[in-house]
Structure 1
Amino acid sequence: MLKFMDGVERVGNKLPHPFWLFIGLTVVLVFVSAVLSAFDVSAVSPADGEVIEARNLLSAEGLDLMLGGVIKNFITFPPLGLILVVMLGVSIADKGGLLTAVMRSMLARVPAKMVTFTVALASMFAHVASDAAFVVMIPLGMIAFRSVGRSPVIGAVVAYVAVGGAGSVSPIIEGSDAVYAGLTTAAAQTIDPDYVVSPVANYFFGVVSSLVLAVSITVVTELIVARRVEAMNKVLPDLVDPTDIPDMKLSAIERRGVLRAGIAAALFLGLLVLSVVPQASPLRGEGGSIVDSPLMDNVAVFLMLFFAVVGIVYGTTVKTIRSARDVPDMMAQGLRDLVPVIVLFFAVSQFLGYFKWTNVGQLVAIGGANALTSVDAPVMLIFVGAILLISIMNLLLTSGIAMWSLIGPVLVPMLMLLNIYPETTQALFRIADAPTNSLTPMSPYFVIALEFIRRVRPSAGIGTLMSLVLPLTVVNLAVWTLMFLGWYALGIPLGPGAPIR
């Protein structure tokens, strides 16, 4: 297994940055579109009987599109506005200290029997902090385990897997929900121009998934991972000073801040609920609908306002916000953290814009759908095959956004032609994308987790972390897949207004 993973690391290290990967794919697309157009490749859409023809990017029309569409492709890219708006609010809650304080309060005074489950579940909530959750939760997990007399290595592994290996779901709505919804919407609109996927489309599924994965992580950790770490400690004990355990308890002013933020959250949500109670509420849609309404269509705005309100209340209480100018400064800090994602979005938006115009995505999707229809593949088999394929690809390309940007434009339309909703395909991708994230050294956070572990176990290497993460990865993927198949069989909605089939 270690030799196999060493080979994956060597191959993966040769891959370019995702930005250059999409630039390269755009160049390939240019020539592919020219070849397909030259051979008059076309297909009949099963959706409406329309003949779909390949369009040539090297034609006069294509060149005009490429040059004139650069700004439009970027500015109208669905995930761009969504993530920027949501992160304006999340940044205030993060930079003001509220998110870290909430995590610490969840882990303070945790009984030894509950420490694994608590760290795993707290890490699920920490997804709202995006990539910062790794830096926050891994050391907090180590401290929590040390405080109950257990190896901090176990705490690091649990937090790392719960953040990275289950990073696409959370008990609360967060920034990635908006990003995935935007990407799925863009992919679905190649078939149905009016189709819109909401950021809460997978919410019900995400809440249950968080609890199921927290239990799965707990069981595997106690039965396998903890025993392996104990065996390692018999040979070479961790370098842990039992007297050097930082206090997880919140100070009096921090407790006051969390309490006030909780009250503010309750008031905000209460007012929002009251505002949609009247049948004639402007937040309701036609006929008094809540599912298809301004409330659900603009959920990203309400998320931004929610996190901004609770973040400001906490910050003014603990004095991390001392003046009104601190608020926009925190927003700016949060957006600076997003700059790498925004740069990636530029390359992705150009590729997807050209991809849609050339009709290559629709041609592949129709061909794939026809092939699956001709062999009469059971839908469950299609799901399992897609999960396994994406999981393997994820060992080399660990960015969920980059991965979904790459395969979503093909997978979503193809399954739509098989009468599978985009929301269902998105949930399928979340399952496939997350578990192997924590296994591959291609993930930048693999190195972060390893460095934290090396602070108490200097001899730890890539193989050490892989050996501890592997059983969690395999079991989580299996359990989550079975849960999805059962969810689909029962026909339970994935989220508000999002039937699974």
Structure 2
Amino acid sequence: MANKETTSQNFFKRILDKVEIVGNKLPQPVTLFAMLMAVTLLLSWFFGGISVDHPGKEAGLIGPDGNPVDSIEVVNLLSREGVQMIFTKMVSTFANFPPLGLVLVVMLGIGVAEYTGMISVGLRLFVSRVPKAIITFSIVLAGMLSSVAADAGYVVLIPLGGAIFMGMGRHPLAGIAAAFAGVSGGFGANLLPTGLDPMIAAFTEPAAQIIDPEYTVNPLSNFYIMAASVPLIGLVGTWITEKILVPRLGPYKPASGIEIEKEKPITRQEVKALKWSFAATVAVLALFMLTIIPADGLLRGEIDPSTGSRSFKPFYDSLVPVMFIVFFVAGLVYGIVAKTIKKDKDVTDMTAKSMSTMGMYIVIAFVAAQFVAYFNWSNLGSVLAVKGSDTLKAIGFTGGPLLVAFIIVSSVVNLVMGSASAKWALLAPIFVPMLMLMGYSPETTQAAYRIGDSYSNILTPLLPYFPLVIVFAQKYVKEVGIGTLISMMLPYAIGFAVVRIPMLLLWIWAGLPLGIEGPIYYSP
């Protein structure tokens, strides 16, 4: 039995090694995105003028221009209008690339926290006091919970995972992979409501009203099944890390040119500074709580007619600045008490140093932003999504097989369209009404979509944060490329799909509510 298990493990390892070799033969991210830009331009020229009916056409949906939507047409970006758009919007496309501002702002705060020594000391204390057996699980779990803070988990938790594993004497790439799996592969699963819940429901409701004009969708209609997914994903992510990835990576041996700070004993002054830093963090968080707990708090939004209370949207939209302030204040207080900050110039030098390490990411972000913009402007992704959905609909699947097929289609579309809301805006008007007519509620279709929109995140280089994860990994292993990262994340994607899809089917079979006002079946 042991020989069979060893043989299967070696076979799987050989597959992952081949994936890594093939993937690493791809050009560097900057070159790859530049090539994809050229391919997108050529495809937009070749398929320019091809159109498909917009999914919301029959429902009479109104487009941004105020006119009823009719069709989606591939736009030729090599036309006069297309070329002018490329050149006139090049700067704004880069400046407005969402991951760029988020990463740089948060890194300003993290830079102070890192270079004062606060993060290093805190990690060493964490490693020494948290049982080794649950550290990996804690990293994957923290990754899922980080979606409360929008995309900040990519910036904070992924490098943190590598640093924690490094501090334990384990391979840092395994820690990076575990954190990435939780943040991105477990996307949507959370023990707390997030900004994603109302955003997704906002597209589900009008799609459901194509069949039932009076139908409403509660933003937390998938909350129960998403919360129940958290421990399951955490356990699977931990098992994959410990049983597949750690053995495959082996012991970590820093190559020449890679500087890894040797661990030093923690002094009383550092412990004192950490305590003051923790107190300052609690004080800052308490101040922010005062902006959201009162009904008329400074970071509360307009009154929601359905609840009669003010929304938390301004607070959700402010999470990146909040994290910047929290890290900055915590690092500043630590540095003053630990005497690693002696004058204001030290603080500015630390922030400048943190920005200097992001040079490669800024270059990657420029070409990635242009490619994403070209792909969106051309409508190639939208037409591809509609064509794929129509093909699945024509196959005639029903019941569970249709849900599984829909999840797979969602995950495949996810490889070429990164935005969860953009994909759902296209898929919801097709699949929500279709499954309603087959007896499934819009909430069930929405849950199936959210599963398909999660586990394939960690496999696509088109994910805006994919290049950033490579940059984090190259801190420890310079040769890390696209193939390395995909080969590390493939077991997680397979594992999450294997457990989450059957979980949904069992949940439906048991007749459990999906969330608050989250029925499984629909009856007119």
Q: Give the TM-score, by structure 2 length.
A: 0.63
Quote the residue 2:404 is aligned against: 381
Determine helix, strand or coil for the equivalent of 2:290: helix
Structure 1, residues 61-118: CA drift from partner, whole Å, max 9, x if none? 11111222211211122222222222221222222222222221122255xxx32213
**Amino acid in the other structure paired with 1:259:** K
Quote the residue 2:360 is aligned against: 340
1:280 paired with 2:307, answer no
1:295 paired with 2:315, answer yes
Quote the residue 2:56 is aligned against: 46
Of residues 116, 121, 144, the one that matches 2:138 is 121
Of residues 443, 456, 467, the one that matches 1:432 is 456
- Runs (5+) with no aligned partner, structure 2: 1-10, 62-68, 144-152, 188-193, 208-221, 252-261, 433-441, 462-468, 479-483, 517-524
Distance 1:120 1:300, change over 3 A: same
Quote the residue 2:92 is aligned against: 72
Q: Give the TM-score, by structure 1 length.
A: 0.65
Distance 1:4 1:471, change over 3 A: closer
Quote the residue 1:99 is aligned against: 119
In the alignment, is the contact (CA less than 8 A) between 2:301 and 2:313 conserved in 1? yes
Distance 1:430 1:279, change over 3 A: same
Q: Hey, what's the Cα distance between the residues in 1 that align with 2:349 and 2:186?
A: 27
**Amino acid in the other structure paired with 1:31:** L
Distance 1:67 1:56, change over 3 A: same
Distance 1:353 1:161, change over 3 A: closer
How is 1:82-481 mapped onto 2 (pairs within 5 angstroms)?
82-110=102-130, 114-118=131-135, 120-121=137-138, 129=156, 132-133=159-160, 135-142=162-169, 159=175, 161-166=177-182, 168=184, 212-216=232-236, 250-287=266-303, 291-375=311-395, 380-382=403-405, 384-385=407-408, 405=418, 411-417=423-429, 418=431, 428-434=452-458, 475=495, 478-479=498-499
Q: Hey, what's the Cα distance between the residues in 1 that align with 2:19 and 2:167?
A: 30
Distance 1:360 1:475, change over 3 A: closer
Determine helix, strand or coil for the equivalent of 1:52: strand
Structure 1, residues 174-221: CA drift from partner, whole Å, max 9, x if none? xxxx9x99xx99xx9xx99xxxxxxxxx99999987755554466678
- Structure 1 residues 372-381 or 93-102, which shifts more? 372-381
Distance 1:425 1:330, change over 3 A: farther
**Amino acid in the other structure paired with 1:34:** W
Distance 1:287 1:32, change over 3 A: same
Of residues 34, 37, 45, the one that matches 1:23 is 34
Q: Hey, what's the Cα distance between the residues in 1 that align with 2:173 and 2:161?
A: 11
In the alignment, is the contact (CA less than 8 A) between 1:124 and 1:162 conserved in 2? no
Q: Hey, what's the Cα distance between the residues in 1 that align with 2:56 and 2:227?
A: 35
Q: Hey, what's the Cα distance between the residues in 2 that align with 1:470 and 1:67?
A: 37
**Amino acid in the other structure paired with 1:267:** A
Q: Hey, what's the Cα distance between the residues in 1 that align with 2:348 and 2:291?
A: 28
**Amino acid in the other structure paired with 1:121:** S
Q: Hey, what's the Cα distance between the residues in 1 that align with 2:185 and 2:29?
A: 23
In the alignment, is the contact (CA less than 8 A) between 1:141 and 1:159 conserved in 2? no
| Structure 1 position 5, deviation (Å) | 3.1
**Amino acid in the other structure paired with 1:381:** V
**Two-structure CA RMSD over aligned residues (Å):** 4.9
Q: Give the paired residue count.
A: 415
